[in-house]
Amino acid sequence: MRRSIRGGIRLGLVLSFVIGAAACTLDLVAPVVPPPDTWDPALNTHPDSVVFQALLDRYVREGLPGVVLLVRTPQGEWNGAAGYAGIETGDRMLPTHRFHGASVTKMYMASAVMLLAEDGLIDLDATVSQYLPEALYRRIPNGTRATVRQLLGHRSGIPDFNGDFRYDVDFLNDPLGSYASDRLLSYLERQSALWAPGTGYFYSNANYYILALIVDQVAGDHAVVISARVLEPLALVATYYRHEPAYPSPPGLVNAYQDLAGDGRLMNVTDLATHDAEVFMGNAGLIATSADFADFLDGLLGGDLLEPESLSQMKAWVEPSRYGLGLNYLDTRYGPALGHSGGDVGALAQVRRFPHVDATLVLLTNGGDSGVTDRLFALLWDEAMHAALDGL
């Protein structure tokens, strides 16, 4: 989940408050539990393996705590890692470590909604008020006008939670507290709609939180739908979302770090990252390995989950958003890159499919979306694309 206040007051003050004392007691940090599965280096068949590894090693030296890169092209596959899953304890990063996906979760939520639409349980052009009880939809700006389709495409005109100043104040004073739906909706109900539904684009995490509430009403539990209808059919056994064993701290989950001051110094924010995974739903919270992220996107875009018409609707975007129904487009020299990015406390992710060159790239780090870490991740992503896709 990308917060609007990236690296700003809320994040810096909260994290300084929460973990400032912990910085002096790193000896108390527990080792990262090893991943329950292993990666066979013999599976790395890509001829540029040495180039990829050198690239990751260089960016760890420049300041990323740990990083995993997966490359799938017609030339072969490579899944490699550098740096640390746990800096304080010296646990080396492995390709099989688990990462917070942050907003990458939105693709899974959107897939679940589209599957229920195929079942006739959800009408994409029905309004929020047709699925949520009045006690809920009356608290949502545009709750009687915005449609499910507009939620999926961030064209609902519904603001984000942090449009209410109390959101930042509450997280500052109670960063690890309880944030149930009633509390999160309170941050929306005092705000006005941004505009009439369908007339503009605004990326709002609230859209996908509301989608989770809708699926809860329609199918009983949105997390069960994601597990049974998305994860299991694609055999994503290293993916965790609410109902998988040991969630939200499965074996092999990396420690999370944040560059609070923008000066390259990292602090351990694992507790806060875990708390965010429990609080937010639909818009964030999913945890997976690089291989599972890639398998999901390849399976989705390969037609293994949805009917062709449903997939076509997910891929269709409206200018100027470059955002379809849960799928985001990046314009690159290799053609459009379909997928999603993610950024939150202690996590950055890019999960992308390049259909024009038949390639999939996944890049993950356990450094959060602020300061030097954010800049390094963006530079690494650009270099990784060139290294993997030039010449295809």
* Bond from prior residue into 320 cis (ω within 30 degrees of 0): yes
Q: With respect to residue 207, please indicate whether it lies within any of the assigned structural domains.
A: no
Q: With respect to residue 249, please indicate whether it lies within any of the assigned structural domains.
A: yes
Q: With respect to residue 181, please indicate whether it lies within any of the assigned structural domains.
A: no
pLDDT band at residue 19 using 50, 70 and 90 as cut-offs = very low
CATH assignment at residue 267: 3.40.710.10
- What amino acid occupies position 375? R
Angle between helices 308-315 and 105-118 (to 10 degrees): 140
Rounded mean pLDDT of 334-348?
96
| Confidence (pLDDT) at 282 | 97
Residue 372 above 90 pLDDT? no
**Number of domains, the chain:** 1
Q: With respect to residue 76, please indicate whether it lies within any of the assigned structural domains.
A: yes
Secondary structure letter of residue 329 according to DSSP: E
Q: With respect to residue 136, please indicate whether it lies within any of the assigned structural domains.
A: no
Q: Which residues make beta-bridge pairs with 67?
A: 82, 365
Rounded mean pLDDT of 22-33?
59
Coil, strand or helix at 308: helix
Q: With respect to residue 161, please indicate whether it lies within any of the assigned structural domains.
A: no
List the structure tokens of 235. 């055999």
Condensed to tens digits (0 to 9), the pLDDT of residues 184-202 reads 999 999 999 999 999 999 9
Q: With respect to residue 160, please indicate whether it lies within any of the assigned structural domains.
A: no
Residue 27 above 70 pLDDT? no
Dihedral, CA atoms, 83, 76, 340, 326, nearest 10 degrees? -150
Percentage of the chain lying above the pLDDT 90 cut: 81
- What amino acid occupies position 22? A
Regarding predicted confidence, which is higher, 225 or 6?
Answer: 225
Rounded mean pLDDT of 92-107?
98
Rounded mean pLDDT of 271-286?
94
Residue 326 above 60 pLDDT? yes
Secondary structure letter of residue 220 according to DSSP: S
| Confidence (pLDDT) at 131 | 98
List the structure tokens of 201. 């684009």
pLDDT band at residue 262 using 50, 70 and 90 as cut-offs = confident
Q: Please check whether residue 205 is in contact with residue 280, taking contact to mean a CB–CB distance below 8 angstroms.
A: yes
| Confidence (pLDDT) at 265 | 83
For residues 2 and 345, what is the distance between their CA atoms, to the nearest angstrom? Answer: 9
For residues 325 and 214, what is the distance between their CA atoms, to the nearest angstrom? Answer: 16
Residue 173 above 50 pLDDT? yes
Q: Please check whether residue 392 is in contact with residue 334, taking contact to mean a CB–CB distance below 8 angstroms.
A: yes
Residue 20 above 80 pLDDT? no
Residue 330 above 50 pLDDT? yes
| Confidence (pLDDT) at 28 | 56
Residue 2 above 80 pLDDT? no
Residue 17 above 60 pLDDT? no
Rounded mean pLDDT of 241-250?
94
Name the pTM for this structure: 0.94
| Confidence (pLDDT) at 299 | 98
Condensed to tens digits (0 to 9), the pLDDT of residues 122-168 reads 999 999 999 999 999 999 999 999 999 999 999 999 999 999 989 88
For residues 242 and 277, what is the distance between their CA atoms, to the nearest angstrom? Answer: 9
| Confidence (pLDDT) at 13 | 41
Q: Please check whether residue 206 is in contact with residue 160, taking contact to mean a CB–CB distance below 8 angstroms.
A: yes
Q: With respect to residue 293, please indicate whether it lies within any of the assigned structural domains.
A: yes
| Confidence (pLDDT) at 253 | 98
Angle between helices 270-279 and 9-19 (to 10 degrees): 120
Q: Please check whether residue 301 is in contact with residue 112, taking contact to mean a CB–CB distance below 8 angstroms.
A: no
pLDDT band at residue 1 using 50, 70 and 90 as cut-offs = very low
Residue 21 above 90 pLDDT? no
Q: Please check whether residue 70 is in contact with residue 290, taking contact to mean a CB–CB distance below 8 angstroms.
A: yes
Residue 318: count of CB within 10 angstroms of its CB: 12
Alpha helices in the chain (DSSP H): 9-19, 49-62, 105-118, 134-137, 148-152, 165-173, 181-189, 205-219, 222-226, 270-279, 290-301, 308-315, 371-389
* Domain interval for residue 81: 9-105+114-119+221-389
Percentage of the chain lying above the pLDDT 70 cut: 93
pLDDT band at residue 18 using 50, 70 and 90 as cut-offs = very low
Phi, psi of 365 (to 5 degrees): -140, 155
Condensed to tens digits (0 to 9), the pLDDT of residues 39-83 reads 888 889 999 999 999 999 999 999 999 999 999 999 999 999 999
Where is 352: in which H helix or E strand? strand 347-354
| Confidence (pLDDT) at 46 | 97
Q: Output the average pLDDT for the chain.
A: 91
